[in-house]
Chains A and B, each alone.
Chain A
Amino acid sequence: MNIHSINLLSRKAGSFCLIFAVLFVLETPPCHAKDKLNVVTTTTNLESIAKAVGGEHVNVSALSTGKEDPHFIEAKPSYMIKAKNADLWIRIGLELEVGYEGLILEGSRNPRIRIGSPGHLDASAGIIPLELPTQRIDRSMGDVHPLGNPHYWLDPYNGRIMAQTIGRRLIQLDPDHKEDYEGNLAAFLLRLDRAMFGEKLVKAAGGEQLWKMQLNGTLENFIKEYNEKVKQADPRPEQERLSLGGWLAIVKPFEHAKLVTYHRSWIYFVRRFNLDVVAELEPKPGIPPGPAHIRDVINTMKSEKAGIIVMEPFYNQLDAKAVAEKADAKVVLATTAVNGQEEATDYIALFDNIVSRLANALHEVSK
């Protein structure tokens, strides 16, 4: 092919571009089914909660698949198209999405989901963030989040708040289906509370009360006193007595077990379930471990008798396995995102999965 023909070809290519474009100007845009709200969430956890609360009145999709590190999602143009058609954008917030959200929102050119619009929802509204910096932070500390640790969805109590926040916003955007959203929300909260405390406790005291007692640390006392009262009032029926159920009951035998995690992503979870993190494999958030830090972690695990390393499957498992071998510990791979592992099919199954994997490992280690 000589240069002249290449040139001719390229001229054609150039004009082809324009013709292509003009053709699409004439093309009518695809019409969207307007009877359902289009909800786009950054993570699969938000997707799961939004689906539960929105029910049949919403189409929900998440940018992530649940398998990736939620800190490092790329602003793919295809995400901008997803966002372009969204009526509601829900993010985790606390700067978890700082690396890509701005580019996607801007690229979507969708005025409905601009920050500050009713179509933009920060699900962290209403939760109490942990690890808010109390001193001046800089990058020598690694990837510290100035608004607090963003992994708050790993506390089922925060899951309740998130669901309520999402429910309120759906009602605001779609008041016609207020009753349905309220019903879905109540059903979701009931499911979550039952999974957390067990059906019997929820029936006896109600979810709200149980959470209040759980936050207050008086739940066990309540159960004890309740049982005593029942006993005094009527000595006969054993089945009237209350006992801890759900996730709390599964984790209870391992209270204050010592764990090592890869990233500081488990602090909300361990606080709720009374477990202790003694070290992280990352020397600083977002910084991969070096040999000196690995030695330190091994020593800490030995002296603290920590038998478990908990980590998300998307982190480097080789580091963890090396440490586990030397410290005679077990590595527990547990996803912190819905769809991150096969069993984690929704927000509640996510905790089922974490709790059962942890309890199994802790049980084995304690033998």
Chain B
Amino acid sequence: MMIDKFQYSLLILLLFCGKGFAQSQNADSEELKLLQQEVSQLRQQFKEESERHSAEMKMLREEIELLKQNQQASIKESVQQATAAESNTPSTTVRGPETSPPNPIAQSFNPDISVIGDVLFHAGKNEENTRKDQFSFRELELAFGNAVDPYGRADLFLGIEEEDSEWHANVEEGYFTFDQLPYDLKARAGKFYSSFGKANQLHTHAMPWVDKPVVIRHFFGEEGMSEAGAELSWLVPNPWNSYMELTFQAQNNGNEASFAGNQSNDLMYVSHLKNFFEIDRESGFELGGSFAAGDNAATNGGHKTNLEGLDLTYKWRPAQEGSYKSLTWMNEFLFSQKEQGVEDTVDAHGFYSSLEYQFSKRWSVFGRYDYSQFPDDSDSHEDAYSVGLTFRQSEYCFWRLQYEHTEPKGNSTTNEDRDELFLQLNFGLGPHRAHQY
């Protein structure tokens, strides 16, 4: 179009020049007339030309527009075809932008079900003869969990274990969680592990060792402390905006080792404060304080047990090589004051320190030092040294080899040192929920 205008103005300019020329001559009017005619012809011609030109451009534009429209239509079609091919759904179900992806899993209201098996081979001297030099299917854990209704979820963990050649099913944990409470509160009711420290709450498959630390076994029993009760926890606001969780639990005082065992007819109270500090994006540490108190015998009002605990865990996992390297240093201290009678309180304590280093995608090594007295006997204690190797075949299956050397010491124990070797195979079916950090 620009060009048309340019030509047009050129013509007008020429015209004016011609006019001037004609005026200056002013002699031959015949010639002038002829010239004028010629000019008007030219004008007409040019007008026609430019009209044709613009019509042509218009046609071109329309053609392009049509092309675009055709393409749009065929794109729609091809997208539909692609959707149909890729999702194996009929093309009528092409999704709008805000709908969620088609779920190929049939919607059912079945809970998530996981089954975890734990096979153990044990070799070595064990004075209590609880572990023979043979294979054992140590535990079969069944885990069920899902939302119950809009107000909370339920989780059940059944442990099936062999005891004196008979199989028993225990409710390891089973609780309802009210996870929709206001003010950053959360509540649980049912049977659950006491929030005392860290190791007590670990299920077999989540432990970094074959067995629980000695201090946990001595003060809470082989199975750990899990009792029926209720819990309220709160995320504590704080000026550093760091993770601080305060938990109160009221549970039956049915623990054999530190509380009343079979004679339980009362409650014990557990409180736990969990802090997490991030050092940087790759490392952080957790500091926890625990306190538990309750009667340790059926006699009302008398014979109390107080337990205090302190746990410190440091974790490092590099960002880029996080699948191949990590380090966890876990420490727990436990102090117990168990009243045996009037003016007779046993003050006992124990601790462990465990270091685990992952050096490749599947392999990690660990070492643990245990020291623990007994809740009823502070004059005796056990020292234990463990080292081991874990091979994580996949996310759902691992092998673990552990050597443990235990030295019982004190006047009431006459036992000799023990050397034990464990080979563990742990495998899981189903979605089992991700582990807590």
Are the C-beta atoms of B72 and A122 separated by less than 8 Å?
no
CA–CA, A114 to B63, complex, Å?
Answer: 51
Are the C-beta atoms of B179 and A106 separated by less than 8 Å?
yes
Which of B15-23, B126-134, B160-168, B240-248 makes up part of the contact surface? B240-248
Q: A21-B273, A27-B239, A134-B88 are in contact. Are A68 and B349 (CB under 8 A)?
A: no
Partner of B75, one of A18, A81, A99, A216: A216
Q: List A residues 115-157 near B (Cβ within 8 Å).
A: 122, 124-130, 132-134, 139, 143, 146-148
Are the C-beta atoms of A128 and B83 separated by less than 8 Å?
yes
When distances are taken between beta carbons in the complex, the residues of chain B under 8 Å from A84 are: 184, 235
Is A14 close to B, CB under 8 A? yes
Q: List B residues 332-352 near A (Cβ within 8 Å).
A: 335, 337, 347, 349
Q: List A residues 50-85 near B (Cβ within 8 Å).
A: 64-65, 67-69, 72, 74-78, 80-81, 84-85
Chain A interface size range: 35 or more
Distance in Å: Cβ of B145 to nearest Cβ of chain A: 10
Which of B29-37, B212-220, B315-323, B418-426 makes up part of the contact surface? B315-323
When distances are taken between beta carbons in the complex, the residues of chain A under 8 Å from B236 are: 21, 24-25
Partner of A76, one of B96, B180, B437: B437
Is A17 close to B, CB under 8 A? yes
CA–CA, A13 to B306, complex, Å?
Answer: 12
Is A11 close to B, CB under 8 A? yes
When distances are taken between beta carbons in the complex, the residues of chain B under 8 Å from A7 are: 335, 337, 347, 349
Q: List B residues 46-93 near A (Cβ within 8 Å).
A: 56-57, 60, 63-64, 67-68, 71-72, 74-75, 78-79, 82-83, 86-88
Residue-wise, chain A 96-121 has the 8 Å CB interface mask toward B (1 for contact) of 00111011001001010010000000
CA–CA, A316 to B290, complex, Å?
Answer: 41
Q: List A residues 1-59 near B (Cβ within 8 Å).
A: 3-4, 6-7, 10-11, 13-14, 16-18, 20-21, 24-25, 27-30
Partner of B60, one of A85, A126, A229: A229
Which of A207-215, A252-260, A323-331 makes up part of the contact surface? A207-215
Q: Residue among A13, A129, A225, A286 with the most chain B CB within 10 A?
A: A13
When distances are taken between beta carbons in the complex, the residues of chain A under 8 Å from B361 are: 288, 316
Distance in Å: Cβ of B268 to nearest Cβ of chain A: 14
Question: In this complex, what residue of A is CB-closest to B310?
Answer: A13
Is A168 close to B, CB under 8 A? yes
Are the C-beta atoms of A109 and B75 separated by less than 8 Å?
no
Are the C-beta atoms of B281 and A65 separated by less than 8 Å?
yes
CA–CA, A94 to B100, complex, Å?
Answer: 10
Are the C-beta atoms of B271 and A17 separated by less than 8 Å?
yes
CA–CA, A255 to B71, complex, Å?
Answer: 23
Are the C-beta atoms of B88 and A209 separated by less than 8 Å?
no
When distances are taken between beta carbons in the complex, the residues of chain A under 8 Å from B185 are: 109
Distance in Å: Cβ of A337 to nearest Cβ of chain B: 11
Q: A4-B347, A215-B79 are in contact. Are A132 and B433 (CB under 8 A)?
A: no
Distance in Å: Cβ of A15 to nearest Cβ of chain B: 8
Are the C-beta atoms of A17 and B291 separated by less than 8 Å?
yes
When distances are taken between beta carbons in the complex, the residues of chain B under 8 Å from A17 are: 271, 273, 289-291
Are the C-beta atoms of A288 and B362 separated by less than 8 Å?
yes
Is B95 close to A, CB under 8 A? yes
Is B276 close to A, CB under 8 A? yes
When distances are taken between beta carbons in the complex, the residues of chain A under 8 Å from B322 are: 68-69, 72, 314
Is B278 close to A, CB under 8 A? yes
CA–CA, A5 to B28, complex, Å?
Answer: 135
Q: A3-B378, A225-B67 are in contact. Are A102 and B434 (CB under 8 A)?
A: yes
Are the C-beta atoms of B238 and A24 separated by less than 8 Å?
yes
Is A222 close to B, CB under 8 A? yes
Is A164 close to B, CB under 8 A? yes
CA–CA, A202 to B433, complex, Å?
Answer: 47
Are the C-beta atoms of A129 and B101 separated by less than 8 Å?
yes
Are the C-beta atoms of A67 and B319 separated by less than 8 Å?
yes
Question: In this complex, what residue of B is CB-closest to A111?
Answer: B180
Is A356 close to B, CB under 8 A? no
Q: A3-B349, A10-B308, A24-B244 are in contact. Are A129 and B75 (CB under 8 A)?
A: no
Write 20 A-B pairs (CB below 8 A) sorted by A numbering: A3-B349, A11-B306, A13-B289, A14-B289, A24-B244, A74-B317, A74-B437, A76-B437, A85-B241, A109-B184, A111-B182, A114-B180, A126-B98, A128-B86, A132-B86, A168-B98, A216-B74, A218-B74, A314-B319, A314-B322
- Sorted from nearest, which 6 A-B pairs have the closest CB atoms? A77-B243, A29-B237, A10-B335, A77-B276, A126-B97, A17-B289
User: Which B residues fall within an 8 A CB radius of A?
Assistant: 3, 56-57, 60, 63-64, 67-68, 71-72, 74-75, 78-79, 82-83, 86-88, 95-105, 179-182, 184-186, 235-239, 241-246, 271, 273-274, 276, 278, 281, 284, 286, 289-291, 306, 308, 310, 317, 319-324, 335, 337, 347, 349, 361-362, 378, 394-396, 433-434, 436-437
13 further A-B contacts with Cβ under 8 Å, apart from A24-B237, A74-B317, are: A25-B236, A69-B323, A76-B284, A114-B180, A125-B97, A130-B86, A132-B104, A168-B98, A222-B67, A225-B67, A233-B56, A288-B361, A314-B323
